[in-house]
Structure 1
Amino acid sequence: MPVNSFDDYELTWKPDKQELKTPMYRSLAMLMEADIKSGKLIANTKLPPQRELADYLDLNHSTITKAYKLCELKGVIHAIVGSGTFVSPNANSSSSIVNQSDTAIADMGMVLPFFNHNKSVKDIVNEVIKKPLSEKLLEYSNPLGSLSQRIAGAKWVSQFGIDCHANNTIITAGAQNALAIILLSLFAPGDKIITDPYTYPNFIALANMLHIQLIAVKHDEQGMLPNELDTICSLENIQGIFLMTSCNNPTTIPLSNHRIRELCFVIKKHQLLVIEDDVFAFMKKNKVTPVCSLLPEQTIYVSGLSKSICAGIRVAYMCFPQKYLSRLEQGCYNVNIKASSLNVEVVTEIIQSGLAQKLIQEKYEMAITRNCLYAKYFPSVHCEPESYYQWLQLPEGYSGKFFEDLMESKNINVYGAERFSVGDSAKSNAIRIATCSPATEASLELGLTAIKKAIKEEIPLSTP
């Protein structure tokens, strides 16, 4: 027992000493994670200083350090230099984006990209199946996709300003699959990747599973701040950066072309590997300059087709520098051998036939109409017309998770800010509203009416 016993000391977290087993650091990390997941340790709780916890548990300081580091790698806690270590804002929130209810009055949680266009895709599926030797599409084949399929992929990304050869293109089973392959192939546990304060929740979940640490950099209305990025890269050993160039998920912020050039200067200076997820590039009439076009030797560009063509046909194109070919090819094979040849051939036919551009135009027009409705209900807030979703700030002091639960009790789905938060640099008083997801415009208006009413009448009367 240490000379100065901490048995009666007021610590914000007192793990049960009797539950600790060897190796002590791993056991302690498991106890911490369990208390966080159960809600015993709530978001933003400041954890005990490592030396105080070491004294309380009668353990070496290095044991506590290793336990904290393990939980930090899992994304459930984060450290702030000079302030301490805190429970992460999204530690108790689901970071998985899945359907909440099939019976919701208005489902505006998950982004559901206008399923009424699937009839046109079904017709192409039937045409592909009727072709001679179509049964070959049900066999194993080149894990990267056939040459003609990769040529179609290169053609697809060229409309977004990407000059990519078929030999530098891999076809994956959707954008999320591409992100998993990139992280598994090119990063290691303990690596650090820069993101926006709010970012794609499934990327957060992937990084946590692989023990890759995400570090948020502040942003403004033009996107991530270059000076902040430069400062963090000078202080930390950063390996990569994750950007959603055309439309950040969930804030809808598109990077301005000027800001992209500023960021590229910093990225090149610190030799960061860029993961550019540009799934919403098709929604922009005035195309955003992709980072990949400016730093082709440092960027892996991902273009998923679930939002633009068909959600159920899981296909994405990944364009990359030649130096990463063998590692990405091996990663692709190890994760899922290959994307479905049938799905890829269907998408190839959709692109080559010109149907892809027709689908894009129709979905674009529908999104504009939906967002005009949103603007009618919330005229005093920013509305991004070229988006499948909107980012709505709530009154100060009322969390996104609170409002998400409140609306769920009314059988309406939205997603709170905590699902998208990285570290502590983002406020939690916001929700993402997927305007594309309700089956009809009438259903969208029902949902928007309920949200507006709840903000006006129920939030001030409720406990955050």
Structure 2
Amino acid sequence: MSTAELISNWKHHIEHGSGPIYLSIIDALADSIRRGLLHEGDRLPPQRQLAAALGTDLTTVTRAFSEARRRGLIEATVGRGTFVKVGATETRWRHTGRAIVDLTMNLPPIPEEPALGQLIQADMTYLLRKQELSGLLSYRVTGGSTEERRLAARWMEPLLGQRNEDEVLVVPGAQAAIAAVVSTLTTPGDTIITDRFTYPGIRSAAAQFHLMLKGIDSDLEGMVPDQFDQACRRHRPQLIYCMPTIQNPSTATMSPERREAILAIARAHQIPILEDDPYGLLLRDGLPAMARLDPAHVFYVSTLAKVLSPGLRQAFLVVPGVDMAHRMSSAIRALSLTNSGLMTSLVARWMQNGSAASILAAIQTELRARQKIARDILGNGHCMHPDGPHVWLRLPDWWGSVDFVSYARRQGLALVPSNVFTVEGEPPQRARIALGSATSRESLAVSLRGVSDLLRHKRSPGFDDIV
């Protein structure tokens, strides 16, 4: 949208508003975001320019922008200007009534066997007998003990091959690992290349550290090499972020050949890769991690949140070399200090006695069953992976993503609209469905039949409530 069109739209709001001008400006801003006239990351005109164009004073515009920042609509960076905030478009779909069935979070389904409640109770009792309570509740060594890092390396070995435990860090969650890599390898104003539709966590990290994201198109195997090469030449990024296995949200999965192609381009441009691999261990037939194919240039993140439980708050960061591990350990210490001693000890116990492997196998089986249910009910034409935890739902022409998700929530179903994942360009007519958060297969089937019914519903032109 051009500046002239934006000014015209805002003038209309001011002229027809009944309250203070600064509130009319906020309303105009929110309306422009809601209608897609402004997108997350768009730069707003300077405040003096806006004041002159709107026929008001600078104090009024400054007051409006201050309130808009408080409401989470915009953010300002000294020397760069004011931008529509990442996440500003979430308000509409999140606040349209309480959903009965929440299919927004990619959680692993809780298996019936092994019974997690009994397992946790038994192993906590064991830990309390074998270890001092003060040790379980105390601060831990940042990055994990030698034994904890050795267990982590063994856990990831099917995907990574053998790695020196000195290159492995135990981290309190994947987001902390991502933030550590991003903050260490970039400076404000740098660019990160990612998929055009990508995990919101990297968008949050980029916004926090004042970085620019540039998204490129993908096919069924992920990033398209030619476009990736052109983006590297054009934008000169400092880092590439990718999720090569069951990409979130598209479910695209890179073949070994595609992984090699992307790695070769990154090496040619001397750009490190941040490989986020939350779902790699869910695959029936595992694929080699990019960090296994090129351990010298790839930073690898693996989390237990998607393959065991997010309640464990544990992830692993594997880096190129011991010196880099020391740098990342410092970043993790600054961001989150250390892991929970209680949860770290429980994870170590599960890895030692085989419980972790048993839980993973049960979750793999359950997700495959749920994917079959989804395919049977929703049909083909949607992006699915037989081993994955989510569906990238294709919507009919008459449904926009936010409208569909808002309408679904009114019917008691919570999904995620595509704008949450969109780095740049128009959000596609898609929505993400998480299959693991339903309490049972029966509950999931009922919910998916509801989604199927909504897909056939043709909304009227006046869907929005007007009063």
Structure 1 distance, partners of 2:295, 2:163, is: 9
Structure 2 distance, partners of 1:349, 1:212, is: 39
What's 2:388 paired with? 387
Deviation at 1:423, TM superposition (A): 0.8
Query: Partner of 2:162: helix, strand, or coil?
Result: coil
Deviation at 1:54, TM superposition (A): 5.2
* Alignment CA distance shift 1:348-1:48 (3 Å): closer
Aligned residues: 421
* Alignment CA distance shift 1:307-1:10 (3 Å): closer
Structure 2 distance, partners of 1:89, 1:355, is: 39
What's 1:39 paired with? 31
Structure 2 distance, partners of 1:95, 1:267, is: 38
Deviation at 1:311, TM superposition (A): 1.7
Structure 1 distance, partners of 2:278, 2:96, is: 23
What's 2:374 paired with? 374
Q: Which amino acid aligns with 1:114?
A: P
What's 1:11 paired with? 5
Structure 1 distance, partners of 2:411, 2:128, is: 44
* Alignment CA distance shift 1:13-1:448 (3 Å): same
- Residues 374-395 of structure 1: per-residue CA shift (max 9 Å, x gap): 1111223243211111111101
* Alignment CA distance shift 1:278-1:94 (3 Å): farther
* Alignment CA distance shift 1:133-1:50 (3 Å): closer
What's 1:111 paired with? 106
Q: Which amino acid aligns with 1:110?
A: M
Deviation at 1:263, TM superposition (A): 0.6
Unaligned runs of 5+ in 1: 1-8, 18-29, 59-66, 78-84
User: Which runs of structure 2 are paired with 1:1-400 in the superposition (5 Å)?
Assistant: 10-13=4-7, 38-42=30-34, 44-45=36-37, 57=52, 91-93=88-90, 104-116=99-111, 118-119=116-117, 120-322=119-321, 323-382=323-382, 383-400=384-401
Query: Partner of 2:406: helix, strand, or coil?
Result: helix
* Alignment CA distance shift 1:164-1:405 (3 Å): same
What's 2:411 paired with? 410
Deviation at 1:134, TM superposition (A): 4.5
Structure 1 distance, partners of 2:302, 2:28, is: 35
Deviation at 1:286, TM superposition (A): 1.7
Structure 2 distance, partners of 1:75, 1:99, is: 15
Structure 2 distance, partners of 1:404, 1:198, is: 17
Paired residues of 1:186 and 1:327 also in contact (CA < 8 A): no
Paired residues of 1:43 and 1:91 also in contact (CA < 8 A): no
Structure 1 distance, partners of 2:138, 2:44, is: 57
Structure 1 distance, partners of 2:104, 2:251, is: 15
- Residues 387-430 of structure 1: per-residue CA shift (max 9 Å, x gap): 11111110125222111111111111111111111111x54211
What's 2:56 paired with? none
Structure 2 distance, partners of 1:163, 1:40, is: 52
* Alignment CA distance shift 1:372-1:137 (3 Å): same
Paired residues of 2:174 and 2:314 also in contact (CA < 8 A): yes
Deviation at 1:151, TM superposition (A): 0.5
Structure 2 distance, partners of 1:109, 1:100, is: 14
Deviation at 1:76, TM superposition (A): 7.1
Paired residues of 2:275 and 2:290 also in contact (CA < 8 A): yes
TM-score by length of 2: 0.81
Structure 2 distance, partners of 1:358, 1:462, is: 51
What's 1:5 paired with? none
Paired residues of 1:12 and 1:48 also in contact (CA < 8 A): no
Unaligned runs of 5+ in 2: 12-21, 54-64, 76-81
Deviation at 1:270, TM superposition (A): 1.1
Paired residues of 1:397 and 1:429 also in contact (CA < 8 A): no
Deviation at 1:457, TM superposition (A): 2.2
What is the RMSD of the two structures over their aligned residues, measured on CA atoms?
A: 3.6
Deviation at 1:87, TM superposition (A): 6.8
Paired residues of 1:407 and 1:413 also in contact (CA < 8 A): yes
- Residues 103-126 of structure 1: per-residue CA shift (max 9 Å, x gap): 743221112212355322443233
Structure 2 distance, partners of 1:451, 1:172, is: 37
- Residues 180-225 of structure 1: per-residue CA shift (max 9 Å, x gap): 2222222221111111111111221221122111110111111100
Paired residues of 2:86 and 2:204 also in contact (CA < 8 A): no
Deviation at 1:333, TM superposition (A): 1.0
TM-score by length of 1: 0.81
Identity %: 23
Query: Partner of 1:159: helix, strand, or coil?
Result: helix
Structure 1 distance, partners of 2:185, 2:356, is: 32
Structure 2 distance, partners of 1:457, 1:314, is: 40
